[in-house]
Chain A
Amino acid sequence: MDMNEIKEIFFQECEEQLAELESGLLKLNDGDRDPETVNAVFRAVHSIKGGAGAFGLDDLVGFAHVFETTLDCVRSNKLEPNQDVLKVMLKSADVLADLVTASRDGGGVDEARSRGLVKELEALAHGEMPSAHAEVAKPAKAEAPKPSDDSGFQPIPFTFDGFDDDVPAAKGSVYEIGFKPRHDLYAKGNEAALLLRDLSKLGEMSVGCDMEQLPTLDKLDPEASYFSWKISLTTEKTEADIRSVFEFAEWDCDLDVKLAAAKPSDEELPMVPVPFDLSSLDDELGSDTKAADEAAAVVATEAAANVSKMAAAAARVEKKEAAAPAPAPAQAAATAAAGQTIRVDLDRVDRLINLVGELVINQAMLSQSVIENDASGTSAVNMGLEELQQLTREIQDSVMAIRAQPVKPVFQRMSRIVREVADMVGKQIRLVTEGENTEVDKTVIDKIAEPLTHMIRNAVDHGIESPEKREAAGKDPEGTIKLSAKHRSGRILIELIDDGGGINRERVKQKAIDNDLISPDANLSDEEIDNLIFAPGFSTADTISDISGRGVGMDVVKRSIQALGGRISISSRPGLGSTFTMSLPLTLAVLDGMVVTVAGQTLVVPLTAIVETLQPEASAIHSFGATQRLISIRNSFCPLVDVGRILNFRATQANPVEGVALLVESEGGGQRALMVDAIQGQRQVVIKSLEANYTHVPGIAAATILGDGRVALILDVDAVVAASRGQSLSPEMSLAATG
């Protein structure tokens, strides 16, 4: 793993943290006051800051730091997370997300906005606890004298009088260092011998150990600290350098560093000066040092050789005891505790899905050849095959489930869009989401975000009225947009419901007339008028606003939904709001299809597109113009489309009476009767991309391999319908004829 990969992980993690941050803030916004929610929010920002620091993403660190500081005020109950505070925080979360994106993909962010928010955040932190920010922002310099803490000892006051940190002492200065560790030093895992070792690296050193305090063995407390050391160090380093060796331990020892005026001389203490030899220390200590604590320190002095041996032996025993009840499960515990989810490279999952696809095809081929050889269908082979078929199907479903993801991240993104757009147009809007944990294939999730974003923008910009208008109409000035997801009959249903003014049908119709989409005298039902907003090149806003008028119309939304094998419809009630309903397949890897024959070719028609199938009677067929024919179904007319003709499988139209008509729903909710020669049956097929393996073919969505090993093309129903319209019908008439 290199830094780039870790950076990739960092950005992935950022996405997760941002989602965590936003959902936490929204929970707080809903009145949740669980400290764990606040903690989670704080951690999310803290984590982003930590990682960003590691990669030198200074802008991100800077903003996250200010944000974190304010969150810390909330965490320590110094700032009440009321609506106003949360509004700033939600916006800050958005800016943080922008900064993450900018750090990943390059490009800038709205600096004025982020600067403004920094000010707002700082004001929040200052307002509630004036000194907090200043203290945190200032790097905590030098761990010099700290106020005494609760651990029951006084800090050692020392000054740097007469010394300047940055000015090295005269070459080869001699320092007298007194070092007396307290019990706490050892309790915190520090080790006198190691500190002496580090000190010895600064220069030439000799150490004397004072063992005066050592009691007799029967009175010896193995946990107590009895030794102190006198060190004489000749070094070019400064006093600050010497003290920095004791950086971790300075609270837990008496430390006295003096520049010796003269050559060091042995003092009245009964101690044995010994040259401090690092290598021999290491040899003697070996790996037992850690547990040995005081014992290790004793080793440093030759005088206490006997005690040392005893203690070292004791330490070894202790170590063995420690190691003994630690058998093999250690490693297992380490990995097992890692959590209930694993991360898998998407490529691996896709490969698995492809393989299962092959398996399904193979199983189908096998079944078919067995059936051909065993017409009775009762042999053991046959029964086994049936089980195999069931298993294959189950494996397939399970593999699909791996790719399934909750729609939550996409829904969460929407709440940000609602916030931003509502802010821009001065409306008050609440987004309510439902069924966020509904799962659908990752590809579908990835592709749904864009059309959904557009629809949300539209709903905020055009759907919900201004607070004044709403109040005038007797509604809550705060509008509500509800976004929900649920599973229904093997598809996912996403609904976007606003409680706005609904579609202004008069205006929509007028606009459609102005844009030559319908003829002025066209007689349209309410539903047909509502559906006009999906017509290409339609925009209802009188003035194209900054928000939704970005050259993308609802027709584009509709097309992207259809490209996913989905459908979208609208229903609207004037004054009460509109509901957009999207129905999407759960996966793009398999498809339930109807296998049909057209001019000797086998084609697959997606089952979701088919409303019904029927055998046309001669009396129901009516000619319309030179080539066009209509079929009358329950007193309404529906254009007949000969699939074989459209795809150029044959030169002339087939006789409808000899074939089967598939009634399909197409763009705009209109219906068409697709003529095919015969129906072979229904089956689930594995979708194989034509684009990836060959090239795009108009009218064909993809291909599949059937049980007998033949390739069958999957019909692109909408493209076929569109082609049939372009061939013979003018746009106005096609619209007037729909429904």
Chain B
Amino acid sequence: MKKKVLTVDDSRTIRNMLLVTLNNAGFETIQAEDGIEGLEVLEGCNPDVIVTDINMPRLDGFGFIEGVRRNDKYRAIPILVLTTESDAEKKNRARQAGATGWIVKPFDPAKLIDAIERVTA
């Protein structure tokens, strides 16, 4: 069965890149544009892994991660954060919010897939 990935990112460019990368790697991809939509979409799509950006309108990545971790049904889902190399502090905050791991932007497709494989069975 295909693994299901939920991506949350407000940038259309990054969303498309994620979509292409993930689809090519044989994942089923569901996309949301910000944290609020991410939580809405999560309800029901039950992904195997979540990939989320940090800087987003309405609800940012930290809030989104906390929202997922608060949800009894979905709190065990691994969450990977898209972050930039220079954001050590952000990485820490994301971890405290409950992120499983991170992918450094600009992401390399191979690394993205590798990170997803690492946190999923």
Task: Give chain A's interface residues, CB within 8 Å of chain B.
Answer: 1-3, 5-6, 9-10, 12-13, 39-40, 42-43, 46-47, 49-51, 53-56, 65, 136-140, 143, 146, 149-151, 186-191, 193-194, 198, 247-248, 251, 282, 285-287, 289-291, 293, 296, 321-323, 326-327, 329-331, 333-334, 337-339
CB-CB under 8 A from B33, the residues of chain A are 338-339
Task: Give chain B's interface residues, CB within 8 Å of chain A.
Answer: 1, 10-14, 16-17, 19-20, 30-33, 37, 40-41, 43-46, 48, 55-57, 69, 73-79, 84-88, 91-92, 95-96, 98-102, 105-107, 118-121
Known: A150-B96, A187-B75, A248-B102. A333 touches B56 (CB 8 A): no
Known: A6-B13, A54-B14, A339-B33. A190 touches B100 (CB 8 A): yes
Residue of A nearest to B45 (CB): A330
Q: Is the CB of A330 within 8 A of B87?
A: no
CB-CB under 8 A from A187, the residues of chain B are 69, 75, 98
B50 to chain A, nearest CB (A): 9
Q: Is the CB of A151 within 8 A of B96?
A: yes
Residue of A nearest to B23 (CB): A1
Which of A188, A287, A289 has the most chain B CB atoms inside 10 A of its CB? A188
Residue of A nearest to B102 (CB): A248
CB-CB under 8 A from A287, the residues of chain B are 1, 121
Known: A9-B16, A43-B57, A290-B76. A337 touches B107 (CB 8 A): no
- A sample of 23 inter-chain contacts (CB < 8 A) reads A3-B20, A13-B11, A46-B55, A47-B11, A50-B84, A50-B105, A54-B17, A136-B87, A139-B85, A143-B88, A143-B91, A149-B96, A189-B76, A189-B100, A191-B119, A194-B118, A251-B95, A290-B77, A321-B73, A330-B41, A333-B44, A337-B41, A338-B33
Q: Is the CB of A149 within 8 A of B92?
A: yes
CB-CB under 8 A from A286, the residues of chain B are 121
A660 to chain B, nearest CB (A): 56
Question: How long is the Cα–Cα vector from A189 to B31 in the complex, in angstroms?
Answer: 20
Q: Is the CB of A291 within 8 A of B86?
A: no
Residue of B nearest to A6 (CB): B16
B11 to chain A, nearest CB (A): 5
Question: How long is the Cα–Cα vector from A54 to B103 in the complex, in angstroms?
Answer: 13
B14 to chain A, nearest CB (A): 6
Q: Is the CB of B43 within 8 A of A293?
A: no
Question: How long is the Cα–Cα vector from A51 to B15 in the complex, in angstroms?
Answer: 10
Q: Is the CB of B99 within 8 A of A188?
A: yes
Question: How long is the Cα–Cα vector from A701 to B43 in the complex, in angstroms?
Answer: 58
Q: Is the CB of B12 within 8 A of A9?
A: yes
Q: Which residue from B12, B20, B46, B91 sits with its C-beta under 8 Å from A13? A: B12
Q: Is the CB of B16 within 8 A of A140?
A: no
Which of B76, B86, B88 has the most chain A CB atoms inside 10 A of its CB? B76
A627 to chain B, nearest CB (A): 63
Q: Is the CB of B13 within 8 A of A54?
A: yes
Question: How long is the Cα–Cα vector from A190 to B77 in the complex, in angstroms?
Answer: 9
CB-CB under 8 A from A46, the residues of chain B are 55
Q: Is the CB of A247 within 8 A of B16?
A: no
Residue of A nearest to B48 (CB): A290
Known: A146-B92, A248-B101, A248-B102. A329 touches B121 (CB 8 A): no
Question: How long is the Cα–Cα vector from A139 to B13 in the complex, in angstroms?
Answer: 24
Which of A9, A187, A189 has the most chain B CB atoms inside 10 A of its CB? A189
Question: How long is the Cα–Cα vector from A339 to B32 in the complex, in angstroms?
Answer: 10
Q: Is the CB of A326 within 8 A of B46?
A: yes
Q: Is the CB of B48 within 8 A of A50?
A: no
A159 to chain B, nearest CB (A): 19
Question: How long is the Cα–Cα vector from A596 to B120 in the complex, in angstroms?
Answer: 75
Residue of A nearest to B100 (CB): A189
Question: How long is the Cα–Cα vector from A327 to B43 in the complex, in angstroms?
Answer: 10
Q: Is the CB of B95 within 8 A of A188?
A: yes
Residue of B nearest to A185 (CB): B100
A190 to chain B, nearest CB (A): 5
B103 to chain A, nearest CB (A): 11
CB-CB under 8 A from A137, the residues of chain B are 86
Q: Which residue from A10, A193, A194, A322 sits with its C-beta under 8 Å from B73? A: A322
Question: How long is the Cα–Cα vector from A191 to B117 in the complex, in angstroms?
Answer: 12
Q: Is the CB of A326 within 8 A of B92?
A: no
Q: Is the CB of A248 within 8 A of B106?
A: no
Question: How long is the Cα–Cα vector from A65 to B79 in the complex, in angstroms?
Answer: 26
Question: How long is the Cα–Cα vector from A311 to B60 in the complex, in angstroms?
Answer: 35
Q: Is the CB of A50 within 8 A of B106?
A: yes
Q: Is the CB of B41 within 8 A of A333?
A: yes
Known: A54-B13, A140-B86, A334-B41. A189 touches B118 (CB 8 A): no
B92 to chain A, nearest CB (A): 6
Question: How long is the Cα–Cα vector from A261 to B85 in the complex, in angstroms?
Answer: 37
Q: Is the CB of A326 within 8 A of B44?
A: yes
Q: Is the CB of A285 within 8 A of B86?
A: no
CB-CB under 8 A from B16, the residues of chain A are 1, 5-6, 9
Per CB-CB distance, the 10 closest pairs between chain A and chain B, nearest first, are A330-B44, A53-B106, A140-B88, A248-B101, A289-B121, A189-B78, A189-B100, A51-B13, A10-B13, A54-B106
Q: Is the CB of A323 within 8 A of B11?
A: no
Q: Which residue from A138, A188, A296 sits with its C-beta under 8 Å from B100? A: A188
Question: How long is the Cα–Cα vector from A287 to B14 in the complex, in angstroms?
Answer: 29
Question: How long is the Cα–Cα vector from A333 to B78 in the complex, in angstroms?
Answer: 22
Q: Which residue from B14, B69, B85, B96 sits with its C-beta under 8 Å from A140? A: B85
Q: Which residue from B44, B56, B85, B87 sits with its C-beta under 8 Å from A43? A: B56
Q: List 17 additional A-B contacts (Cβ < 8 Å) besides A43-B10, A287-B121.
A: A1-B19, A6-B17, A43-B55, A43-B57, A50-B105, A53-B105, A54-B107, A140-B85, A149-B95, A187-B75, A188-B79, A189-B98, A194-B119, A290-B78, A321-B73, A333-B43, A339-B33
A43 to chain B, nearest CB (A): 5
A319 to chain B, nearest CB (A): 9
Question: How long is the Cα–Cα vector from A42 to B54 in the complex, in angstroms?
Answer: 12
Q: Which residue from A9, A54, A326 sits with its C-beta under 8 Å from B43? A: A326
Question: How long is the Cα–Cα vector from A251 to B101 in the complex, in angstroms?
Answer: 11
CB-CB under 8 A from B85, the residues of chain A are 139-140
Question: How long is the Cα–Cα vector from A5 to B12 in the complex, in angstroms?
Answer: 12
Known: A151-B96, A248-B118. A39 touches B57 (CB 8 A): yes
Question: How long is the Cα–Cα vector from A429 to B54 in the complex, in angstroms?
Answer: 38
Residue of A nearest to B12 (CB): A13
Question: How long is the Cα–Cα vector from A45 to B70 in the complex, in angstroms?
Answer: 31
Question: How long is the Cα–Cα vector from A149 to B75 in the complex, in angstroms?
Answer: 22
CB-CB under 8 A from A188, the residues of chain B are 69, 79, 95, 98-100
CB-CB under 8 A from B118, the residues of chain A are 194, 198, 248
CB-CB under 8 A from A282, the residues of chain B are 121
Question: How long is the Cα–Cα vector from A128 to B85 in the complex, in angstroms?
Answer: 23
CB-CB under 8 A from A322, the residues of chain B are 46, 73-74
Q: Is the CB of A51 within 8 A of B11?
A: yes
Question: How long is the Cα–Cα vector from A10 to B56 in the complex, in angstroms?
Answer: 17
B2 to chain A, nearest CB (A): 11
Q: Is the CB of B46 within 8 A of A323?
A: yes
